Chain A
Amino acid sequence: MAQPAVIAPPLKDELDIVIPTIRNLDFLEMWRPFFQHYHLIIVQDGDPSKTIKVPEGFDYELYNRNDINMILGPKASCISFKDSACRCFGYMVSKKKYIYTIDDDCFVAKDPTGKDINALEQHIRNLLTPSTPFFFNTLYDPYREGADFVRGYPFSLREGVPTAVSHGLWLNIPDYDAPTQLVKPLERNTRYVDAVMTVPKGTLFPMCGMNLGFNRELIGPAMYFGLMGDGQPIGRYDDMWAGWCMKVIADHLGLGVKSGLPYIWHSKASNPFVNLKKEYKGIYWQEELIPFFQSVSLPKDCTTVQKCYLELSKLVKAKLGKVDDYFLKLADAMVTWIEAWDELNPLEAKPAELSNGASK
């Protein structure tokens, strides 16, 4: 069979794939056709003396805990240990415009026709097409082939806004919390919902870090995955925390967040009893956190992601400190994160300073 004309993989030199791992990277074999041409940033959690074998032929950089400590010095305290939240170190250290992050138990899924899904390509498409946060389109993504805006959709809003985040989903093991896992241990997500949509402005959602793409230039500093794991009272809320912070900032700056396609195949169901211990405090705390995030109002002069994030850290300290001392620590860590981000990314002084023209 003749080789098709070689088309360069989209954003080949502008996108890094960030993978946190503690075990091995065997899963990359299955992703090879789709990931081969992209640069990987592996963040090795856990014991730094262990060697993580990366399959042949991938271009990568790998950081273990020793590397993180060396690069960040005392600021390394903001990077979680013994939790996949450490992946956000990869975001900080990347020099690319786009990030795709995936868990090491996520494999290539098939669409209803049986074809392998190139999740990365779909994320790229999501990130390169506008979002529509100010008015919901009932036929979902209007920029998709074969779709459009429906009758009644205001023409002035049809250009959309830049997309900051692309949130993908999971077939097989769904991303349930521990209580739900305990009640429904056998439930599998078999429903392929063939849509991408913009999460409306002012609406919060649970952002899962398993299959996530984002525009690092537009929103990177907001993607801090918090203090989880070793020595922390909570786990499995890293991506949730990042998602809520990110969404209020994206809403403030007039950026879009999409959710839906692509699907990956999530193969591993983590132990629900272990999960319950990690999530326990989070389940109570989120009842305070949600009203907090829903009521956050960032001042007009917060025109960059960093400024927004620092303002948010002040609000966290002031309003969530009374929920638990953990939030005082977290607020400090948020500041450390921004300091570390700016230190490692000094030329990004042209940060996400956007025209707020599109926002209301």
Chain B
Amino acid sequence: MSLENIRDDEVDIVIGALHSDLTTFMNEWKPMFCRFHLIIVKDPDLKEELRIPDGFNLNVYTKSDIDQVVGSSTSILFSGYSCRYFGYLVSQKRYIISMDDDCIPARDNKGFLVDAIAQHISNLSTPATPFFFNTLYDPFREGADFVRGYPFSLRSGVQCALSCGLWLNLADYDAPTQALKPEQRNSLYVDAVMTVPAAAMLPISGINVAFNREVLGPALIPALRLAGEGKLRWETMEDIWCGMCVKFVCDHLGLGVKTGLPYVWRNDRGNAIESLKKEWEGVKLMEEVVPFFQSVRLPASAATAEDCIVELAKVVKERLGAVDPVFTRAAGAMLDWVRLWKSVGSGASSLRA
């Protein structure tokens, strides 16, 4: 496969607004955001008016928009960080780059500001190599290549459908870990992008991601809601569940997932010990999720992301639903999402500028 050429007008930057005052956030990102169209989705539970500085090409969606488009047709709650999925749904672009509103540009080891948008675009436009691990990491990067012993037939790679970035300062740890090490901040800048090998599972954080909406859109689902879910990442697992499904779908469809650069700087927020009370349930659930994904197989006839999610939802309901009702609800949400996507989302994605 050859390099994809991603134009600026093919990209939407989607931000879920959990803070009402986005002034600092937007201004910090301005040099990187200004070329692109933005979609800002306001958390339906946020009461205050959003404050957004001028100078951006954007659309803002609020609770009334969500209700109008989605209404009561779905059990999916677009609250908290899940509000960003509404942005994914209504986007008309081919690629989405999504970031939490408590992240600002990071600096690399040389002190330069990291253009996270450009890096995600680079990740998505170069092939991924999931079938064999390259020990010098991304072979398509400047100054790197495939190493001796890398089979030639695997060097053209596959399309990269998902790019997972990382975080300096407040890393995406779970509440128990951060509570145990309250002072720990991530200062290690690892200068690498790599493909996550096929069949390897990983926790995909929703804080700093980008994806090919056209190919993968329906697979990014706001499905798993915890009973005690809160507004902080520590208090949710929706992105982790979504990520497990997405990786599984990518493996099945022969698409690639990259991880590593870009880093963003994540601001300090919240209290891990307080969040522990809410997030405990999620931690337990992962123990069931892992053996499930290791053993589930989709039929070869599932050839699109939509097909895959429909098939996956069936198995989730059957096997995981029996373990915990949260999975039954997740399976329902997965099917709702595909229905929504077909009626709202896919119509939009066929429109390309």
Tell me if B144 and A191 are in contact (CB < 8 A). yes
Is B135 in contact with chain A by the CB < 8 A criterion? yes
Residues on B with C-beta less than 8 A from A155 are 283, 286-287
* Interface pick from B28-36, B179-187, B211-219, B299-307: B179-187
Tell me if A204 and B196 are in contact (CB < 8 A). no
Contact with B along A319-334 (1 / 0, CB 8 A): 0000000000000000
Tell me if A283 and B197 are in contact (CB < 8 A). no
The B-contacting residues of A in range 174-224, CB under 8 angstroms, are 174-177, 180, 184, 187-195, 199-208
Tell me if A184 and B184 are in contact (CB < 8 A). no
Set B148, B190, B202: member contacting A136, Cβ < 8 A: B202
Tell me if A243 and B201 are in contact (CB < 8 A). no
Is B146 in contact with chain A by the CB < 8 A criterion? yes
Is B80 in contact with chain A by the CB < 8 A criterion? no
Set B141, B147, B205, B240: member contacting A176, Cβ < 8 A: B147
Is A356 in contact with chain B by the CB < 8 A criterion? no
Tell me if B135 and A167 are in contact (CB < 8 A). yes
A223 to chain B, nearest CB (A): 16
The B-contacting residues of A in range 130-157, CB under 8 angstroms, are 134-140, 144, 146-157
Interface of A is mostly: loop
Is B192 in contact with chain A by the CB < 8 A criterion? yes
Tell me if B174 and A151 are in contact (CB < 8 A). yes
Contact with B along A226-255 (1 / 0, CB 8 A): 000000000011011001000000000000
Once the chains are docked, how many angstroms separate the CA of A147 from the CA of B144?
26
Residues on B with C-beta less than 8 A from A56 are none
Is A360 in contact with chain B by the CB < 8 A criterion? yes
Do A206 and B147 contact each other (CB < 8 Å), given the known contacts A138-B202, A150-B203, A151-B240?
yes
Tell me if B148 and A206 are in contact (CB < 8 A). yes
Name A283's closest neighbour in chain B (CB-CB): B152
Residues on A with C-beta less than 8 A from B191 are 191-194
Tell me if A138 and B164 are in contact (CB < 8 A). yes
Once the chains are docked, how many angstroms separate the CA of A288 from the CA of B171?
42
Is B145 in contact with chain A by the CB < 8 A criterion? yes
Tell me if A176 and B148 are in contact (CB < 8 A). yes
Once the chains are docked, how many angstroms separate the CA of A286 from the CA of B109?
38
Once the chains are docked, how many angstroms separate the CA of A207 from the CA of B166?
27
Do A146 and B147 contact each other (CB < 8 Å), given the known contacts A156-B287, A205-B133, A283-B152?
no
The A-contacting residues of B in range 106-151, CB under 8 angstroms, are 109, 132-137, 141, 143-151
Residues on A with C-beta less than 8 A from B143 are 187-191
Q: How many residues of A are counted as interface, with CB atoms below 8 angstroms from the partner's CB atoms?
A: 60
Is B188 in contact with chain A by the CB < 8 A criterion? yes
A247 to chain B, nearest CB (A): 10
Once the chains are docked, how many angstroms separate the CA of A346 from the CA of B164?
49
Name B153's closest neighbour in chain A (CB-CB): A287
Is B6 in contact with chain A by the CB < 8 A criterion? no
Tell me if A193 and B190 are in contact (CB < 8 A). yes
Do A202 and B200 contact each other (CB < 8 Å), given the known contacts A156-B287, A174-B145?
yes
Tell me if B147 and A148 are in contact (CB < 8 A). no
Is A94 in contact with chain B by the CB < 8 A criterion? no
A295 to chain B, nearest CB (A): 13
Residues on A with C-beta less than 8 A from B311 are none
Once the chains are docked, how many angstroms separate the CA of A251 from the CA of B293?
18
Do A146 and B187 contact each other (CB < 8 Å), given the known contacts A138-B202, A151-B240, A200-B200?
yes
Do A204 and B135 contact each other (CB < 8 Å), given the known contacts A151-B240, A237-B149?
no
Once the chains are docked, how many angstroms separate the CA of A187 from the CA of B146?
12
Is A112 in contact with chain B by the CB < 8 A criterion? yes
Tell me if B147 and A174 are in contact (CB < 8 A). yes
Do A135 and B190 contact each other (CB < 8 Å), given the known contacts A167-B135, A174-B145, A208-B148?
no
Residues on A with C-beta less than 8 A from B172 are 150-151
Tell me if A204 and B133 are in contact (CB < 8 A). yes
Tell me if A148 and B184 are in contact (CB < 8 A). yes
What are 19 pairs between A and B in contact, CB < 8 Å? A138-B203, A139-B166, A150-B173, A153-B174, A174-B145, A177-B146, A177-B149, A188-B143, A191-B191, A193-B192, A202-B197, A203-B132, A203-B197, A204-B133, A205-B133, A206-B134, A206-B135, A240-B149, A259-B133
Seen from chain A, the residues whose Cβ lies within 8 Å of a Cβ on chain B are 112, 134-140, 144, 146-157, 167, 169, 174-177, 180, 184, 187-195, 199-208, 236-237, 239-240, 243, 259, 279, 283, 286-287, 290, 360
Seen from chain B, the residues whose Cβ lies within 8 Å of a Cβ on chain A are 109, 132-137, 141, 143-154, 164, 166, 171-174, 177, 181, 184, 186-192, 196-205, 233-234, 237, 240, 243, 259, 283, 286-287, 289-291, 294
Complex A-B, nearest 10 residue pairs according to Cβ-Cβ distance, in ascending order: A206-B149, A152-B203, A152-B240, A200-B200, A205-B133, A136-B202, A203-B197, A151-B174, A240-B149, A177-B148
**Other A-B pairs beyond A138-B204, A176-B146, A193-B190, 14, CB < 8 Å:** A136-B259, A137-B202, A140-B190, A148-B181, A151-B172, A152-B243, A154-B289, A177-B149, A193-B137, A206-B150, A240-B148, A290-B132, A290-B151, A290-B154
